[in-house]
Amino acid sequence: MTKTRAIVITGNGTNCEMEAAHACRLGGFDETIIAHIAELLSGEIRLDDFHFLNLTGGFLDGDDLGSAKAQANRLRYARVDELEEHLLEQLLRFINDGKLILGVCNGFQLMVKMGMLPGFDGDYLAQRTTLTFNDCGRFQDRWTYLKVDPASPSVFTKGIEKGIYLPMRHGEGKFLCDSAATLERIEQEHLAVFKYSGSDYAAPTMEFPLNPNGAQNAIAGICDPSGRIMGLMPHPEAFVHYTQHPRWTREQLPEEGDGLILFRNAAGYARKNLK
């Protein structure tokens, strides 16, 4: 049986790689490595050897050109001379081979800036959405309730009945589409996997601070039509054990945190469907 392998990219300002790797291991991947972007650019490590790519949170390149824009350009245009190909060729091959990608916070910002999401009609290079400054005008660090769309094709959210509770920490998390047509298609195809809500997960909300950034249609995360590529602003890797919950000393909680199911679903999918 082929071992399931996950890779977590670090470097240039990411800061959640250890948590993401731990979540992959807890979720059931046989092997997880943390790789610096320089190791990919040198050809020392290749995406082809993995099943699950994690693009983590942080402040890529200091967000000096806007959140994750510099890294998006790096992944799009950088050449791996030793392999005589661009890194983008590896990334697109990874997607076309049916593998999994999860982008969290800065990683989600990277994915939309590249055009990887929403990935309409197999086009992973056309930017149709963005993540911009929070409506409140400042950085937010709080916990959020995320209503899940049960009709979503997302591989990662299978088994989630109503929603999950996750921490978020960002200054540029407001999701916006380039047109009403893009937003309509995201909604019609159930690609808006997560939406900010109240604690009952009954309905999406635009109310601050439940919706901490003013995201369009309260969207906190989206996937592509295949369901294998997903990004979200809150941090699932930051809640995989009950001791990470803000009220763990005052409430009786399950041992597993709400975020772990995303990584467990990824591992299960990889084990069943990928070689």
Active-site residue set: 105, 235, 237
SS3 271: helix
Please, what is the end-to-end C-alpha distance for the chain in angstroms? 8
Question: In whole angstroms, what is the distance from residue 51 CA to residue 6 CA?
Answer: 6
Q: Kindly report the number of other CB atoms within 10 A of residue 178's CB atom.
A: 12
Q: Kindly report the number of other CB atoms within 10 A of residue 1's CB atom.
A: 6
Determine if the peptide bond prior to 225 is cis (ω within 30°): no
H helices within 55-198, ranges in order? 69-77, 87-96, 106-114, 180-188
In eight-state DSSP terms, residue 41 is H
